[in-house]
Amino acid sequence: DAGVIQSPRHEVTEMGQEVTLRCKPISGHNSLFWYRQTMMRGLELLIYFNNNVPIDDSGMPEDRFSAKMPNASFSTLKIQPSEPRDSAVYFCASTWGYRAGALYNEQFFGPGTRLTVL
């Protein structure tokens, strides 16, 4: 398996532009998570989906951020309009989701998208 795939790996854009980050989870995984990582705030959960349905979006910073998961193999995180304070590394992670008898769920992370907003 190729693991979690994210694109693009690097994105440099100007303030006010729309940014779309993409994620392909591991095949068979039912839960998908979007995180943002900065030196100041560490790894923050933005939103997570279970079976393509958003479960918790309380970490989405504001209305400029939106996320979709139209099917089990694809998700997007969109920022419109982007601002310099959005500069960070954005990670997507996936897990198996609920499995009877399992005590925990290992999260498998993608390589991240490094976003720079000028």
Partner 1 sequence: QKEVEQDPGPLSVPEGAIVSLNCTYSNSAFQYFMWYRQYSRKGPELLMYTYSSGNKEDGRFTAQVDKSSKYISLFIRDSQPSDSATYLCAQTSYDKVIFGPGTSLSVIP
Residue 110 is a binding residue for partner 1 (CB under 8 A): yes
Closest contact distance (angstroms) between CB of 109 and partner 1 is 3
Task: Show the tokens assigned to 110.
Answer: 């993608």
Residue 105 is a binding residue for partner 1 (CB under 8 A): yes
Residue count, binding to partner 1 (CB under 8 A): 26
Residue 93 is a binding residue for partner 1 (CB under 8 A): yes
Q: Measured between alpha carbons, how far is 60 from 4 in angstroms, rounded to an integer?
A: 21
Nearest to 66 by CA among 86, 46, 87: 46
Q: Is residue 87 a contact partner of residue 95, using CB atoms and an 8 Å limit?
A: no
Residue 74 or 96: the one with the smaller Cβ distance to partner 1 is 96
Q: Is residue 6 a contact partner of residue 23, using CB atoms and an 8 Å limit?
A: yes
Closest contact distance (angstroms) between CB of 57 and partner 1 is 12
Binds partner 1 (CB under 8 A): choice among 14, 18, 56, 83: 56
Cis peptide before 8 (omega within 30 of 0): yes
Residue 20 is a binding residue for partner 1 (CB under 8 A): no
Q: Is residue 116 a contact partner of residue 87, using CB atoms and an 8 Å limit?
A: yes
**Which residues here bind partner 1, judged by CB under 8 A?**
4, 31, 33, 41-43, 45, 48, 50, 55-56, 91, 93, 95, 97-98, 102-107, 109-112
